[in-house]
Amino acid sequence: MESSERLTKFADILLPVPIPRLFTYRVPTLLESELQHLKRVIVPFGPKKILTGLILNIHELPPADYEAKSLLEILDTEPLFTNQQINLFKWMAEYYMCTEGEVLNAAMPSGLKLSSESLIQINPDFNYEEPAFAFSEKEWVILNRVRYETVSYSDLAKFLQVKSLHSILKSLRLKDAIVIIEEIRENYKPKKEKRIRFGSEFLSNTALEKVFQEIGTKPKQEAILLTLLKHLPIFQEPSINNKGIAKSLLIHESDTTSALKTLLKKGIIEEFEVTVPRFPEMKEESEAIPVLSTFQKEAREKILEHFNTNKPVLLHGVTGSGKTEIYISLIQDAIEAGGQALFLLPEIALTTQMVRRLLRVFGNKLGIYHSKFSDNERVEVWTKVANGEVRVVIGVRSSIFLPFENLSLIVVDEEHDGSYKQDRTPRYQARDTALMLARLHQAKIILGSGTPSVESWYLAKNENFGLVELTQRFGNAQLPKIDTIHLGLEKKLKRLKGSFSRPMLEAIQSTLEQNQQIILFQNRRGYAPCIECSDCGSTPQCMNCSVSLTYHQFKNALICHYCGYKEKIPQACSSCGSKSLLSPGPGTEKLEEEVKLYFPSATVNRMDLDTTRGKYSHENILNDFESGKTQILVGTQMVSKGLDFNKVGLVGVFDADRLMHFPDFRSQERAFQTITQVSGRTGRRDQKGFVLIQTFDPENRLFNYLKNHKVADFLDTQLDDRRKTFYPPYSRLIEISFRHPDKRTSLEGAQAFAQSLGKSIPTLTTLGPAEPPIGKIRNEFIQTLLLKIPRSQGKLQEIKSKLIRIGEVLTADQKMKRLRIIYDVDPI
């Protein structure tokens, strides 16, 4: 027995589950020949589930504490994952205090995962006319439902309106009336296209001439054959017939379908199916690498010097200085040397313009990867990266998970942007993870920004990063003129019209008269932040979260931006019954409405999360603005980042005070970055742009740095402030959230954790526990602890391990069983 046991193959599998371990499975003899490190497999998990996992180890040692189940199937002929990816997963799990399974779950596109569900079908040997057993009424209902088709368990339960079918199905199986099977579906399905070609008997000149004679009185059939000949010149190149043309194209150009069916029946033409790429076919390169200016060439040479010392490089270039041209030049170097390049952007909105620029240079070497693509499209990019077809990837934070084999350059554009931080497990920072990815591949990495993060500036000043600066805009472009408008004074003089001051309205009118475009920035979507009773001050609250509901006029609803809860606009105040309901403070939707009211002849569009949910909505909005169809674009932070437009003469900034005075140690940094970035959208060519900021606090020191474009000076003052208050980069932060349906239990759990932490690591600086500004989300009450760890302190991983252990002990208590503890390393 022992001898045969030792000869059995076992595999340790990484599964996409939040459990910090690998699972060992027995390998059936029939699958041993396909066994290979990092191939995907499907395995049973628990009593019913089937999961997709990765083979990490192959050995002959059975697990000591449980009976190993058998692998069900090996999915890949060649591995779709790499060793560097597994090393990255391990690092992320360790650094961000999660499990490798949770990282795998985030990394693997849904299209590479498998789903399973029980299916019920009739037993082929069952005799409906003379059944051997008696059946209940419900059993007959099921038998009639599955008589002619296979039905899923869930659909059958809905059909019968019952929660559980187990007892009925068990009875039917014992009577040999049904068969229950487990259908395993691979989510990824290649895209198919129907094509048309000439039948093999009609490829000669003589045969086709005879056909034309026969159909001479049938113009629609003739039109189809002529269209086909136009695309398939078979007499000059007979082999082209194998390629065929798309059936949809043939129908479109010949404008007929009935004649097509007739020709297919006669065999004159034939239909076949091919697998096609999901993305438009990318042409070969049509543009040369952009010619760099003198300043850009100098910056490029400095970057290469830092690369020679294996340092990450921070490229600080003012908005419009031409950082992208330098990136393209460096990417071309990487490709020519046989490597791959990754170009990271913080948001999907930025990919539209950037893709067009890179596509013109890199053509079909380029791959695009972000969440607006379907599962199938992302799988396609994944496999092309794995087999080396794609040499340059442009995408958002999830692109760091792709299976690069020869990654030699990473570009992180707008490196300061908060969108690089994931807000759910694993809570990783893509910029920082990209630094580790570069180390694992021994690749070069460049972080670019017009407004660098305080942390990156600190590392550059301390020579951990190489620092390269571009202080001039490209060509003749000048930095914009920035002015503030004192809202307090405007209000006192009664010169406010809705959300607009008189100077703002006059500037918009003047800009329109000069045939220039305008961007209006309001970092809050919706019509208004809430509706408010003017008599008692009450505002409708979300029933699941401790936030007021946001008013969306277009949807005529109040919506929670945290859990999605929605309710109709009330006719009266729920607290006092008053019908005097107001909507204080504008969101983007209300701002758009006001602009249309004050400037009825202008074409206005809005760009925020609500208007960009569709796959191509970003692209359509930006195309309309770029082509001049849209004169005024109202938007949230989406309009502030990296977009390049020729004719923007004015940028208006609303609600700047809310940005500056948000209760967070990064609020000044974020406000400066956001306003500088949105200001950079104007004056991009030979015209000088103009920026107007509405504020109640025009004397704030922040505006002095903004007006004089003193980015470095601002960052230095921020470093001084952070040093005094012991915030990053002088410390590392870990935020621990405690969530529970009961508010008291949430607080008690946080207090117990803090008490244990004080005993275990007494030297650690701990703030809290405290209720955050939003103390309830999705019916869970929240308490937080904030830990400050000196950057110079070693044993960071030891501290994290102790934190996890304290949490495990705490949640082992029966009372705290439902307490959720969430660790957020480097919160933003």
Residues 411 and 500 in one domain: no
> Using 50, 70 and 90 to split pLDDT, how confident is the model at 5?
very low
Structural domain including 547 reads 528-585
Residue 827, preceding peptide bond in cis (omega within 30° of 0): no
pLDDT above 60 (res 21): yes
pLDDT band at 553, cuts 50/70/90? low
Q: Are the C-beta atoms of residues 24 and 63 closer than 8 Å to each other?
A: yes
Residues 712 and 650 in one domain: yes
Mean pLDDT score, 482-505:
91
Give a yes or no: residue 309 inside a domain: yes
* Rounded-to-integer distance, Cα 359 and Cα 366, Å: 7
Q: Is the pLDDT of residue 116 over 60?
A: no
14 in a structural domain: no
Reported residue count of the chain is: 828
Domain-located, residue 88: no
* End residue of a domain, out of 570, 585, 600: 585
Q: Which of 682, 697, 722 is the last residue of a domain?
A: 722
Instruction: Classify residue 108: in a domain, yes or no.
Output: no
Does 11 score more than 90 pLDDT?
A: yes
Q: What per-residue confidence (pLDDT) applies to 3?
A: 43
Band of pLDDT at residue 640, cut at 50, 70 and 90: low
Report pLDDT digits (tens) over 43-80: 988 877 788 899 999 999 999 889 999 998 888 889 99
Q: Which among 109, 117, 91 has a CA at the least distance from the CA of 184?
A: 117
- Would you say residue 660 has pLDDT above 90? no
Instruction: List strand residue ranges (DSSP E) for 553-599, in order.
Output: 557-559, 566-568, 581-582
Q: Are the beta carbons of 416 and 449 closer than 8 angstroms? A: yes
Q: 523 and 616 share a domain?
A: yes
CATH number, domain at 411?
3.40.50.300
Instruction: Specify whether 594 is located in the same domain as 574.
Output: no
| Residues 138, 247 within the same domain | no
Does residue 286 surpass a pLDDT of 60?
Answer: no
Domain tally for the chain?
A: 6
Quick one: pLDDT at residue 757? 94
pLDDT of residue 689: 86
For residue 759, tell me if it sits in a domain: yes
CATH code of the domain in which 773 resides: 3.30.70.600
User: Is residue 238 included in any domain, yes or no?
Assistant: yes
Residue where a domain terminates, one of 470, 500, 515: 470
Report how far residue 165's alpha carbon sits from residue 139's, in angstroms, rounded to the nearest whole number.
Answer: 10
Is the per-residue pLDDT at 186 higher than 70? Answer: no
For residues 577-594, average pLDDT? 74
pLDDT score at 368: 87
| Of 401 and 166, the one with more pLDDT | 401
**Cα 166 → chain centroid:** 40
Residues 177 and 200 in one domain: no
Give the alpha-carbon dihedral of 404, 410, 413, 414, to 10 degrees: 100
pTM for the full model? 0.77
414 and 341 inside one domain: yes
Same domain, residue pair 412 and 442: yes
Answer whether residue 714 is part of any domain: yes
What is the per-residue pLDDT for 642?
53
351 in the same domain as 413? yes
Same domain, 197 and 304: no
Say whether both 612 and 580 belong to one domain: no
Q: Does 458 map to a domain?
A: yes
In a shared domain, residues 500 and 611: yes
CB 378 within 8 A of CB 188: no
